[in-house]
Amino acid sequence: MQKRHRIQFPKAESSNLQQNQSYFYLQESSKQRKIRFHDYDEIYQIPGLYEQLFYDRLKCSSPLKVTSILEAAVRQSQDNFSELRVLDLGAGNGMMGEELKKHGVSRLIGVDIIDEAHDAAIRDRPGIYDAYYVEDFTSLNAGIKEEIISWQCDCMVTVAALGFGDIPVKAFVEAFNIIKSEGWVAFNIKESFFDTTDESGFSKMIRELTFSKHLDVYYIERYRHRLSIDGEPLYYFAIVARKKSDVPYSFLQSKGIEI
């Protein structure tokens, strides 16, 4: 049995916070620690805290949702889901990887930028990943890149890690270009990223890429990602597509997207 943690949400001011500014208090013995939701390095170091916070308290459904629509799209195309070699970008402590393994993917390669994510995945879900790399995909070492390419991934997933600076545009494109042409891409994004009034680089990249020749969209669904700390639903889009070709940086630059 995992230890249950004493989590407390702030009484006031929560409704005024942006999603990536939310925080909670963790009661530890006689002291109380304030932790932001995006302080993953701190959260991952405490066994069971991530799951209790995001899945028990806030009812996150994204790994299940993205896996289910990816499987449906692959089945519709008459490809074999169990033969997929998956690159899990922003793998964290392995929640998405665990869901994919339940459905029997062939290979699973994890990637994250922080050591704490790797350590948590190995600690809490040993054996889920065939390999797990701690790398910055905005400045990927040539030797490591070749090693990751050698896994011959034909699917990339990234769940609950896009659009808040966790995974920059360049890192997403670098990972996208590693997977094979005709490979699958499955990810989720905050619903506002499809709004043309959102001029952030990541939002513009998603809109341009979704309707470009580089991607063939199979499935888009709006769904409840999780609850806010006030109990309000937070809606995301889940997207499954097929890669048609690599994305050159010149394509993004021509659209005014900074890399």
pLDDT digit string, tens, across residues 52-88: 999 999 999 999 999 999 999 999 998 999 999 999 9
> Does 41 score more than 90 pLDDT?
yes
pLDDT, greater one: 193 or 110: 110
* pLDDT single digits (tens) 129-146: 999 999 999 999 999 999
| Band (166; pLDDT cuts 50, 70, 90) | low
Q: State the pLDDT at residue 257.
A: 86
> Does 17 score more than 70 pLDDT?
no
Map out the domains of the chain as residue ranges.
6-57, 62-254
pLDDT, greater one: 89 or 203: 89
Q: State the pLDDT at residue 15.
A: 54
| Band (98; pLDDT cuts 50, 70, 90) | very high
Within 84-168, where are the H helices?
A: 95-102, 115-124, 142-149
- CATH of range 62-254; options 3.30.830.10, 3.40.50.150, 3.40.190.10, 3.50.50.60: 3.40.50.150
d(CA 160, CA 155): 17
Q: Give mean pLDDT, residues 226-246.
A: 93
For residue 6, the Cα-to-chain-centroid distance in whole angstroms is 26
Q: State the pLDDT at residue 11.
A: 78
Q: State the pLDDT at residue 144.
A: 97
pTM, two decimals, is 0.92
Share of the chain above pLDDT 70, in %: 93
The residues pairing with 185 across neighbouring beta strands, listed in sequence order, are 156, 241
Distances (CA, A) of 63 to 2, 69, 74: 21, 10, 16
